[in-house]
Structure 1
Amino acid sequence: MGISLFQMAKIGGYVVRQRLSGRKRFPLVLMLEPLFRCNLACAGCGKIDYPDPILNQRLPLEDCLGAIDECGAPVVVIAGGEPLLHKELPQIVEGAVARGKFVTVCTNALLLEKNLGKYKPSRYFNWSIHLDGDREMHDASVCQAGVYDRAMKALTAAKARGFRVTINCTLFNSAEPARVAAFFDEVSKLGIEGITVSPGYAYERAPDQQHFLNREKTKTLFRDIFSRGKGGKAWPFFQSTLFLDFLAGNRSYHCTPWGNPARTVFGWQRPCYLLGEGYAKTFKELMEETDWDRYGVGNYEKCADCMVHCGFEPSAVEEAFARPLEMLKVSLFGVRSSGPMAPDIPLDGQRPAEFVFSRHVEHKLAEIRQAESESLPAAE
């Protein structure tokens, strides 16, 4: 199936309006993280190692809906942590859909089946279930046996209730192209809306640092996968064909971090959903006061190997509007999986990595302690 014509038309109209208004930078997708707490501890995740006082934080409903209004992006992706741990998630989803937003909730699906009754199927809403390959691949990725089977059971239940369902698949350097292609074949038979695929981002705090892909290995891996599926045409990807072409090394993009801004319990995250180098209090401050040129491939060491969808999907969408025939060509003929690759962005001018995570954590802990002390009854 892939992205529906209705959704493409709505998002396309939004992009056209932004261009006609003369906006140079505008968001496509709001990445909303109302909590970091999760019920899994995946080896490649950099979101679960915060101290308990931070993991216990939740963005309240009012702040979540305020971020949706403030940002204005046509798509809202709710992630975490595990969003289904947030007690106000049904109201967040309902409020976003009522605003005409396309809403995706990213979930490991362990809590999905018992919570389905709290939500209503809608063409504006879909569940994105985390599946990093077949049973063995996925359970190894999430470091817990049996998760794949539980996720597939929840996926089937959601489909039976009339929900739109996609899967999101993150690949690491242990991925075997033939197994990934076979997995895509199997899930495509389930009648899902589509597949979102991306290489893992090298979180500096992730427990497993050995299995992240560099750019060269990413391109080779995706070429090998797409060659087994008619250039990717065999599978219903829920993302831009030009982004898939980029993954296979056929295009070279600078990232567009403002295209997928992130709102977390810390604030508006600079510069992107994956890289927390600072936080703004408002979306306006994020957009107008962030030094965007300090980040991205070729500009910053931490970005050197990134080819993740949240940074480069907006870049692909930008090219699709600038060069629609390129998008049509890839859609018709599939992703090229042989021949020369596009020249990559040189890294010799990038600035060295700064490690600022601990500072942000200490600031947030200080805020929490201050708020707790102010809430205590005054001593008599």
Structure 2
Amino acid sequence: MRLVSHPVLCNYYVTYRCNATCSFCDIWERPSPYVTLDNVRDNLRDLKKLGVRVVDFTGGEPLLHRQLPELLQEAKRLGFITTVTTNALLYPKYADRLRGLVDMLHFSLDSPVAEEHDQSRGVRCFDKVMESIVLARQLGERPDILFTVFDRNIQQIRQMHEEICLPNDLVLILNPVFDYNAVETGSRLSDQALSELSWWGKQKNVYLNEAFIQLRLDGGNHIEAPICKAASTTIVISPENKLVLPCYHLGLKDFAIDGRLHDLYRSDEVQKLVALEGRLPDCEGCVINCYMQPSFAVEMNKYWWKALPSTLKYNWVKGTWKQLV
């Protein structure tokens, strides 16, 4: 049973540029402009009309956009819940200007061991994450630690939890890795690893969407009965000010927005592509977290029930439930 019929999330790519070269990501390899403030203002207005509640200003590295605080201010003025994920290299520079503008601020950290994290990111940034945690806490912010989980680092969850998250009262977000396009990440987590992740998801200050585990146990999205609702739940906007469909990772087609996002999204041409969500050949077996999470939230099925406890837990701890009621 479909509970929500309109998009709830916007993945707004402010740039594809990045100051890191993560081995499990190819976004940083793409040439890219930066979004303009005028285009963002127009698009946020239309996102509001379409029913979107959460705007994820993403990249690349979103803090490379020098006007990110202004973009966030505009989103907050319109009542959106905002989220930013950063490698923290630039956070100390912009922390004061970002204060109070990001509801869900995520610092990416893939290992509690500096050398291992820096190697995975292709740049020395572990120390910047540690510095950013201290600075954010001093400013009254409460960032989350986003931990991309591989088979090779799952044994480090305890150290990350006990030495970094609990002492700073931070939420540890467990993000099971996934393959996409030509990027091979070794994403097939073992059943033992999935079971261990489920256990960790029940611990204090740890967030894991249990539906991610169930979906992997079920072999991912299946095109004959798709779970994925990427295009109908999530609006993807590129740095070139284009609407990307059916999702960023598949990127089958894009449309120039030109100040008409609301009408464009509702157009027959776009809605025909929306109807193909989860049904295209490349959608078979997909487990991409950033599209599955909103998919689980709009239709009452076993994944909705699996996702519910962790969703309630996170929003209660972060206080964002107040903005959702």
Whether the TM-score (by the shorter chain) exceeds 0.5 is yes
**Is 1:71–2:52 an aligned residue pair?**
no
Deviations for 1:285-321, whole angstroms, at most 9, x for unmatched residues? 345424245453x6323x3343122221122212458
Indicate the larger mover: 97-106 or 321-330. Answer: 321-330
Partner of 1:277 in structure 2?
252
Name segments (4+ residues, structure 1) moved above 4 Å: 237-241, 247-253, 319-332
| Residue 164 of structure 1, CA deviation | 2.8
Partner of 1:234 in structure 2?
203
The correspondence for 2:99, drawn from 113, 120, 126, is 120
**Is 1:225–2:197 an aligned residue pair?**
yes
Same amino acid, percent of matched pairs = 21
Residues 223, 250 of structure 1: CA spacing in aligned structure 2 closer, same or farther, 3 A cutoff? farther
Write the distance in 1 (CA, Å) between the matches of 2:311 and 2:71: 35
Deviations for 1:154-208, whole angstroms, at most 9, x for unmatched residues? 1221122111311223234x5343223432444431212452513233232x4xx
Aligned partner letter, 1:269: V
Let me know the Cα RMSD of the aligned residues.
3.1
- Under a length normalisation based on structure 2, what TM-score does the superposition of the two structures give? 0.77
Aligned to 1:76, the other structure's residue is in SS state strand
Write the distance in 1 (CA, Å) between the matches of 2:310 and 2:88: 33
Aligned to 1:93, the other structure's residue is in SS state helix
Partner of 2:134 in structure 1?
156
| Residue 113 of structure 1, CA deviation | 0.8
**Is 1:90–2:76 an aligned residue pair?**
no
The answer to whether the 8 Å contact 1:36/1:81 transfers is yes
Partner of 1:31 in structure 2?
11
Partner of 2:237 in structure 1?
263
Write the distance in 1 (CA, Å) between the matches of 2:195 and 2:218: 8
The correspondence for 2:27, drawn from 15, 24, 47, is 47
Partner of 1:134 in structure 2?
112
Partner of 1:254 in structure 2?
227
The answer to whether the 8 Å contact 2:147/2:172 transfers is no
Residues 326, 37 of structure 1: CA spacing in aligned structure 2 closer, same or farther, 3 A cutoff? closer
Write the distance in 2 (CA, Å) between the matches of 1:119 and 1:199: 28
**Is 1:182–2:159 an aligned residue pair?**
yes
Indicate the larger mover: 259-268 or 195-204. Answer: 195-204
Write the distance in 2 (CA, Å) between the matches of 1:317 and 1:306: 17
The answer to whether the 8 Å contact 2:210/2:306 transfers is no
| Gaps in structure 2 of 5+ consecutive residues | 313-325
The correspondence for 1:307, drawn from 281, 287, 302, is 287
Residues 91, 218 of structure 1: CA spacing in aligned structure 2 closer, same or farther, 3 A cutoff? farther
| Residue 46 of structure 1, CA deviation | 1.5
| Residue 242 of structure 1, CA deviation | 3.6
**Is 1:199–2:180 an aligned residue pair?**
no
Partner of 1:4 in structure 2?
none
Residues 139, 61 of structure 1: CA spacing in aligned structure 2 closer, same or farther, 3 A cutoff? same
| Residue 83 of structure 1, CA deviation | 1.2
Aligned to 1:151, the other structure's residue is in SS state helix
Aligned to 2:143, the other structure's residue is in SS state strand
Aligned residue-pair number: 293
Indicate the larger mover: 146-155 or 106-115. Answer: 146-155
Write the distance in 1 (CA, Å) between the matches of 2:218 and 2:104: 30
Write the distance in 2 (CA, Å) between the matches of 1:165 and 1:58: 25
Write the distance in 2 (CA, Å) between the matches of 1:279 and 1:106: 24
Residues 293, 121 of structure 1: CA spacing in aligned structure 2 closer, same or farther, 3 A cutoff? closer
Deviations for 1:95-139, whole angstroms, at most 9, x for unmatched residues? 1111111111111100101211212325x6232111123224422
| Gaps in structure 1 of 5+ consecutive residues | 1-17, 333-380
Aligned to 1:312, the other structure's residue is in SS state helix
Residues 109, 329 of structure 1: CA spacing in aligned structure 2 closer, same or farther, 3 A cutoff? closer
Which is bigger in relative contact order (C-alpha 8 A, separation at least 6)?
Answer: 2
Write the distance in 1 (CA, Å) between the matches of 2:71 and 2:177: 29
The structure whose Rg is larger is 1
Aligned to 1:276, the other structure's residue is in SS state coil
Aligned partner letter, 2:255: A
